[in-house]
Structure 1
């Protein structure tokens, strides 16, 4: 096998193309996927302005047959180190001991209140109805939404979320992570989170997560609540935030104190249903994020194909597989550093040698679940909390 260094035009084009798609990929990782970590470090340096006041807050907890979860996690909400707050649990027609558990807690915690939706109440989205009732019952202007299967990781969770409500800020996007997921499921959720957080940090918010989300009560009613999406099962968080959030009124909170951990009995089923739900609502979101990250996926596969082509060209010239290997290692190192930094601050699991494989199957898996969602539209395929 000869080693020669006289390149033909087609070989030059292949090398140039490989470098170009690598540069595009590095741009995405440095500009978008690293944005939450960069913001996290900016906060650590004290460069972000927060409110010195601690305004009164209403925490709204959605519950449906959650007696066990309420027994385990509700004390973590009720014992927050915050001067003035109430916790309102909205009982969505539970048939277990939820009501008894709440009544017991009410004796011990004067700032706990409960309301409920009768089991026979008819609504296409009972979650939207529950959140609306909770907001109407709230005494305070700032409301923070979560669910009964959630647990704040710190007693300063409320303080971390509420500090963002400086003048002009109406919405705070918090982060909630699911415990005990597989490595691929962690990768999938982390990449999903990095995308919507990075857009919000670039002053283009397009969605939020209702497991850890705060906004002003007056903003909710000024925009007529969820009235525009009452015909949809979902939309109490992503579609509503997409409608009301803009470049000036929204902030991101991802400090360690602000994290929420979510527990599901069937973690894989919950992860799958989250994907199906997002596929259902994503077509209604008004944002350029799909084209932006769609191009990132195109260039990612173009990069892998170009590296494969360089390896195959090694039959004729050993220079090509060497260049291909160098380019692959460069991207992998950037990807590994940025992904694992982000995983650490978002409560996810780190990933190492599996990253390229996860990256390769990411789009096919999303297409697979999109097809499942397409063929399941007419079915009662709803996860109770997500």
Structure 2
């Protein structure tokens, strides 16, 4: 083993390739994954314009056998510190005590209403039908969508979401995260959810919105009806949030709200099972999304593996022929790891997710394999006309 600065042509080419792969990885983290952090910093400096108006809003809460969730979480929505709002619970053929719980709460809150989808109603996507019924029943021009298993972090949730409806904005996407207790138990779930979220948030901030999540999503009722609601995707079980937003979002009509006060916490009895079903659901609808994000982030995943392969080969080669190569490959890996862990941990802290350190490179490598596994499951499920529960 020796250290030499005398490189041959093949070694120089290999070094250049490794440097290019390293640069691509750094670019993705600094340009895409850091963008939500930069936006939060800009917001805190007062560089993001908001409206002082507080438009009326109708909150649509989708419920299916959610009596226990409504008992615990609905009061936090009903007691929002906001001057003009009503709450409509859409009961999707529940067989538990959902109707009784909402009826009792109606006697306590004069801004609470309920409607329902009978169990015998025929629709390929009952959730789309339920939301359409709720939106038609809304008396205000802005509708705020969420689920019965969601709870706002504070009493100013609506205030922070509605401040984004400046002139020209029709859609406001909020942030929602799975209850933290389950994240500590399932660290990979936290990692995968956060990376998934950072990708679509970065595209919203780049004015290239391709999706949002229906746990915390607001838009103008007129936008919904002008685009004939969910009619273009009635043949699909899912897409009430991502496919609809993909269809109606433009470069200028969508904003994101990331402040802590605006966030929704999603509660599941089994977070791992819920995450699995969410992945299947979004893999199902991803094929119908019109966006270049699939290519952009698919290219990133490919370069991740090429980068690690080049690092290992260069490191092993250096052990036999020139220790300088091993040192350089380790330096490249270390620099990428520092950038990766810094941005990830800051994002996790700001977005109430699980902070990782040494497991981060492991999850980074596993993600593509796990995603492929769930894609295969999804393909098999489609062929069997298998459906997942509405989430």
Band the TM-score falls in, shorter-chain normalisation: over 0.9
Q: Give CA deviations for 1:220-250 in whole Å, capped at 9, x if unaligned.
A: 0000000000000001000000000010100
Name the structure 2 match of 1:108.
108
Matches within 5 A, 1:237-252: 237-252=241-256
Query: What is the rounded CA distance, in whole Å, between the counterparts of 2:386 and 2:333 in structure 1?
Result: 41
Name the structure 2 match of 1:38.
38
1:193 to 192, 197, 212: 197
Q: CA deviation at 1:41?
A: 0.8
Q: Give CA deviations for 1:3-45 in whole Å, capped at 9, x if unaligned.
A: 3221111111111111111111111101000111110111011
Query: What is the rounded CA distance, in whole Å, between the counterparts of 1:323 and 1:136 in structure 2?
Result: 62
Matches within 5 A, 1:305-316: 305-313=309-317, 314-316=319-321
1:348 to 353, 356, 364: 353
Q: Give CA deviations for 1:38-91 in whole Å, capped at 9, x if unaligned.
A: 101110110000010111111000000000000000011001110110010000
Q: Is the 8 A contact 2:381 2:387 kept in 1?
A: no
Deviates more, 1:1-10 or 1:109-118: 1-10
Q: Is the 8 A contact 1:172 1:251 kept in 2?
A: yes
What secondary structure does 1:143 align onto?
Answer: strand
Please tell me whether residue 208 in structure 1 is matched to residue 212 in structure 2.
yes
2:258 to 229, 240, 254: 254
Q: Is the 8 A contact 1:64 1:384 kept in 2?
A: no
1:265 to 256, 269, 272: 269
Name the structure 2 match of 1:83.
83
Query: What is the rounded CA distance, in whole Å, between the counterparts of 2:2 and 2:187 in structure 1?
Result: 43
| Runs of 5+ consecutive residues of structure 2 not aligned to the other structure | none
Name the structure 1 match of 2:231.
227
Query: What is the rounded CA distance, in whole Å, between the counterparts of 2:360 and 2:151 in structure 1?
Result: 29
CA RMSD of aligned residues (A): 0.9
| Runs of 5+ consecutive residues of structure 1 not aligned to the other structure | none
1:370 to 359, 370, 375: 375
Q: CA deviation at 1:380?
A: 5.9
Q: Is the 8 A contact 1:273 1:382 kept in 2?
A: no
What secondary structure does 1:51 align onto?
Answer: coil
Q: CA deviation at 1:382?
A: 3.6
Name the structure 2 match of 1:129.
129
Name the structure 2 match of 1:48.
48
Deviates more, 1:361-370 or 1:176-185: 176-185
Query: What is the rounded CA distance, in whole Å, between the counterparts of 2:314 and 2:339 in structure 1?
Result: 21
Deviates more, 1:260-269 or 1:231-240: 260-269
Q: Is the 8 A contact 1:190 1:343 kept in 2?
A: yes
Q: Is the 8 A contact 1:254 1:345 kept in 2?
A: no
**Matched pairs, number:** 386
Query: What is the rounded CA distance, in whole Å, between the counterparts of 2:164 and 2:34 in structure 1?
Result: 21
What secondary structure does 1:333 align onto?
Answer: helix
- Taking structure 2 as the reference length, the TM-score comes to 0.97
Q: Is the 8 A contact 1:147 1:385 kept in 2?
A: no
Q: Give CA deviations for 1:350-383 in whole Å, capped at 9, x if unaligned.
A: 1100000000011010000000000111446444
Q: Is the 8 A contact 2:177 2:264 kept in 1?
A: yes
Q: CA deviation at 1:288?
A: 0.6
Name the structure 2 match of 1:18.
18
